[in-house]
Amino acid sequence: MRNIILIILLIIGINYYKSRQEVDVQSLSLPLDTKVLAFGDSLTFGYGAPSEKSYPSDLVDLLHVTVINEGVNGELSEQGLARLPSVLERHKPDILVLCHGGNDILRKIDVAQTKHNLNEMIKLAKEKGVYVLLVGVPTFGILNFDVPSFYYEVAKENAIEIEDSSLKKIFDNETTLKSDKVHPNADGYALMAKSIARMLSENYHPSAKSF
């Protein structure tokens, strides 16, 4: 009898958790005229999954707003900094989701240079009144993946939020969320999109842009 009660309680707990997850996703919202610019390298482009399964594509389904995918495979942060001004001017976004620096880490580029490039990209966006969300890209540590400290320094110095959990969870996962060692698969990008969508829904408040 006791085992039956435990099983029933377990089932109730699982169903409650699932219902809470569904409520969380359903409650995500932004003003319908919001324009989101997803800017970065292959992690933004959606390498390792069909184009309709990139995280920017998933954001459209979650938030029901315009999301522009400006991810370029293999791009370094220095190249991103050079590209961003024209992209901002062309799209005039309300929100910038900045996921950059992964290729700098892989190519062992000086951390100070990567940090400078991220700071400058954020500055360019904030000068236009664009809300910025930084996505931390993990690197492999002693036992698992961790987001390097410079991402947190950049977020603090610019008084912006950082999404630091989804890619760490994806990279720590051995098989089910990755298409290769450093790229999510469709399920991984979906996880990434949900975490970003939740943070934007909780923290973004419309402000005047200066385009």
| 18 and 54 assigned to the same domain | no
| 86 and 19 assigned to the same domain | no
| 43 and 17 assigned to the same domain | no
Q: How many Cβ atoms sit within 10 Å of the Cβ of residue 114? A: 24
**pLDDT, tens only, 51-81:** 999 999 999 999 999 999 999 999 999 999 9
Instruction: Confirm whether 55 is domain-assigned.
Output: yes
Whole-number pLDDT of residue 210: 73
Whole-number pLDDT of residue 201: 96
Q: What's the number of domains the chain is made of?
A: 2
| 109 and 169 assigned to the same domain | yes
Instruction: Confirm whether 179 is domain-assigned.
Output: yes
| 13 and 98 assigned to the same domain | no
Q: Report the candidate in 100, 87, 108 with the shortest Cα–Cα distance to residue 134.
A: 100
Instruction: Confirm whether 170 is domain-assigned.
Output: yes
**pLDDT, tens only, 168-180:** 999 998 789 999 9
DSSP state letter for 183: E
Instruction: Confirm whether 36 is domain-assigned.
Output: yes
Whole-number pLDDT of residue 26: 54
Output the domain CATH number for residue 135.
3.40.50.1110
Quick check: helix, strand or coil at residue 24? helix
CB of 151 closer than 8 Å to CB of 101: yes
| 50 and 149 assigned to the same domain | yes
| 18 and 45 assigned to the same domain | no
Instruction: Confirm whether 182 is domain-assigned.
Output: yes
Instruction: Confirm whether 167 is domain-assigned.
Output: yes
Mean per-residue pLDDT for 120-127? 98
Domain interval for residue 71? 32-203
Is the predicted pLDDT of residue 20 greater than 60, yes or no? no
| 12 and 43 assigned to the same domain | no
Cβ neighbors of 54 (< 8 A, separation 6 or more) are 44, 45, 46, 69, 71, 189
Element (H, E) at 98: strand 95-99
| 18 and 50 assigned to the same domain | no
**pLDDT, tens only, 100-113:** 999 999 999 999 99
Instruction: Confirm whether 168 is domain-assigned.
Output: yes
Q: Say what percent of the chain tops pLDDT 90.
A: 78
Taking each helix axis from N to C end, the angle separating 149-157 and 111-127, rounded to the nearest 10 degrees, works out to 30
Displacement of CA 113 from its chain's centroid (Å): 21
Mean per-residue pLDDT for 12-24? 40
Whole-number pLDDT of residue 140: 82
Instruction: Confirm whether 17 is domain-assigned.
Output: yes
